[in-house]
Structure 1
């Protein structure tokens, strides 16, 4: 740990940097998601430390040394479990952005189910942050992110195969979070 780091988000940022900085856009995306999560915590009245730490860690399963199954939410959660991170953060990483839909078609549903699915506002906030930041770390709409993801992964990808069930889930998350932000007087997107 770098000198002066004392909070969960700081420690998460350091681990994410160590694992993802060499991956270019993956690091830029992660930093953007963490910044977006930090903005969402107060207006949504959720635990900032847990949300921001999970945002920093949500894509660590892409790092070469974490890859076991090739499914980044599961690989990231397993890596965090080995490092004894809090269960709430591990569960958020495992379940972010509708991971359960992709896990089902990849034959990994049972393995993913070993990690708790909060399914509450903090989970929605992480997914919303992930789905409103593009690969280069810039803010995008959830629709733009969805379209970009399908183009990047391709029409035969796991994501495309489950889009008919995952997209309604992601739209529901977006609607719930943006509604809560509006109630709080905070801007969406």
Structure 2
């Protein structure tokens, strides 16, 4: 992992960093499934998908991460993959965050292969536990539901986004 990524991940807790690094490693191992022009960006986004936890501004890590990376000159593709990872639009809605906050990171044109890159980031995130261990999607959802009791924002968002998460994991798994 390159020094710039290590530096950006330094403010994360040890467990969050372990999770994030393993997500990056997983996407790195399957990057051959992504069109060549997106491989580096998909892997970079996977390693940085949770970077916003270390640089809280709004308190919503996909947005905080995408804003940080944009300010540091990362590509629109990396910022898109970070901003929109793992059902973030559903969580933003649950949190009452205006859709335009994430939409600033939407890609202005169709990028061939972006769907598989997105699915692989979601797959890696949703099959990696909070300390970097490999888990099934069901185990990951159960673990999140234990950490975030019913009625909390994250729990509500996970419950609502479960069909989207399952779809992405299923598509990614089917392409391997």
Query: Which category of TM-score, normalised to the shorter sequence, fits these structures?
Result: 0.7 to 0.9
Distance 1:127 1:81 in 2: 20
Report the counterpart of residue 119 of structure 2 in structure 1. Answer: 124
**What TM-score results when the alignment is normalised by the length of structure 1?**
0.82
Distance 1:99 1:41 in 2: 22
Report the counterpart of residue 47 of structure 2 in structure 1. Answer: 56
Q: Give the CA deviation at 1:121.
A: 0.8
Unaligned runs of 5+ in 2: none
Unaligned runs of 5+ in 1: 1-8, 182-189
Does the 8 Å CA contact 2:141/2:158 hold for their aligned counterparts?
no
Within 5 Å, give how 1:110-121 maps onto structure 2: 110-116=100-106, 120-121=115-116
Q: Give the CA deviation at 1:144.
A: 0.6
Q: Does 1:72 align with 2:64?
A: no
Q: Does 1:31 align with 2:26?
A: no
Q: Give the CA deviation at 1:18.
A: 2.6
Does the 8 Å CA contact 1:12/1:53 hold for their aligned counterparts?
no
**What TM-score results when the alignment is normalised by the length of structure 2?**
0.88
Greater relative contact order, per chain length (Cα 8 Å cut-off, separation 6+): 2
CA deviations over 1:2-32 (Å, ceiling 9, x no partner): xxxxxxx625522333332xx1100110111
Identify the match of residue 92 of structure 2 among 74, 79, 103. Answer: 103
Q: Count matched residues.
A: 168
RMSD, aligned α-carbons: 1.7
Distance 1:67 1:162 in 2: 19
Distance 2:161 2:124 in 1: 16
1:85 aligns to what SS in structure 2? coil
Q: Which runs of 4+ in 1 moved over 3 A?
A: none
1:100 aligns to what SS in structure 2? helix
Q: Give the CA deviation at 1:92.
A: 0.5
Does the 8 Å CA contact 1:12/1:57 hold for their aligned counterparts?
no
